[in-house]
Amino acid sequence: MGMKDKFQDQAEQWQDKAKQKMDETKERATERGRQRGDREREREHERGQDPQRTVRDEEDRYDADFDPEAMR
């Protein structure tokens, strides 16, 4: 085996390891995002808030603030 082949194989191994680590990191980040979303929903539930109601309230406030009829 020549020197060039040896270093080529080593570089490919490093690339494979880097890709594996990147995939593992993506999976962990995705899982953390899911867990954070679950925790936020639990907190909203504990406070007695309905997430859909909160979104509607925000939309209503936005509509009221930027109502073209009210701006005249």
pTM above 0.85, yes or no: no
CA distances from 1 to 6, 7, 9, 13, 54 (A): 7, 10, 11, 17, 67
Residue ranges per domain, the chain? 29-72
Q: What b/e string do you get for 4-20 counting C-beta neighbours within 10 Å, with b at 16 or more? A: eeeeeeeeeeeeeeeee
One digit per residue, the tens of pLDDT, for the chain of length 72 reads: 566 677 778 889 999 999 999 999 999 888 888 888 788 877 777 776 665 666 777 777 777 666 666 555
What is the identity of the amino acid at 65? D
What is the identity of the amino acid at 42? E
CA–CA dist 28, 24 (Å, integer): 6
